[in-house]
Amino acid sequence: MSGEAIACRVHHVALQTAHLDQAVKFYTELFGAELLSRRPFKRREMAWLKLGDIRLELFSARVGERLNDWNDFIPGPVHLAFEVADLDAFLNRAKSLGAQLHPSHPEPFTPPVPGAGRIAYLLGPDGEEVEVREPD
């Protein structure tokens, strides 16, 4: 590739979930996502959510198919990360809504990187890690 880079921005991230109802609830109630639409799509159901300038596109499994359990040993995105102004206040609210810290990181921590903010990982609807962090 040559030439000047073209400016772009992320429009959306698509997530496949075995638990669409729980995933919609997780992102709308916990992170304040706006549910834009939810409808059948081909052999599955989909939901569009808006979080600030980013959209999440959630897909259910296809009718008659079962998704494999989430694990750390597959290629692709490792986690989603959300920034919050006050991690402790966010985690208190998250816990009151039934969210749990991910077993891989049972406590908030500060990464060993100069200037890093504190981070916590929540247990997502499919067992995935959902990062929540304070600003750097």
69 within a domain of the structure (yes/no): no
114 within a domain of the structure (yes/no): yes
Q: Are residues 49 and 98 in the same domain?
A: no
Total domains present in the chain:
2
Q: Are residues 50 and 86 in the same domain?
A: no
Domain at 135, CATH number: 3.10.180.10
Q: From CA 4, how far away is CA 74, in angstroms rounded?
A: 33
Q: Are residues 91 and 129 in the same domain?
A: yes
Please check the confidence at residue 101 and state whether its pLDDT lies above 90.
yes
SS3 content of the chain, % helix, strand, coil (to 5): 15, 30, 55
91 within a domain of the structure (yes/no): yes
Please check the confidence at residue 4 and state whether its pLDDT lies above 80.
no
1 within a domain of the structure (yes/no): no
What percentage of the chain exceeds 90 in pLDDT? Answer: 76
71 within a domain of the structure (yes/no): no
Q: What is the pTM of this model?
A: 0.86
Q: What pLDDT digit, counting tens, does each position of 102-126 carry?
A: 999 999 999 998 889 999 999 999 9
Domain interval for residue 103: 79-136
Number of CB atoms found within 10 A of residue 98's CB: 10
Q: From CA 24, how far away is CA 18, in angstroms rounded?
A: 12
73 within a domain of the structure (yes/no): no
Confidence of residue 16 (pLDDT cuts 50, 70, 90): very high
Q: Are residues 114 and 89 in the same domain?
A: yes
Confidence of residue 28 (pLDDT cuts 50, 70, 90): very high
Q: Provide the pLDDT for residue 74.
A: 81
Q: Provide the pLDDT for residue 2.
A: 56
110 within a domain of the structure (yes/no): yes
> Residue 96: helix, strand or coil by DSSP?
helix
Give the residue from 18, 35, 64 where a domain finishes: 64
44 within a domain of the structure (yes/no): yes
Q: Provide the pLDDT for residue 10.
A: 78
Q: Are residues 105 and 133 in the same domain?
A: yes
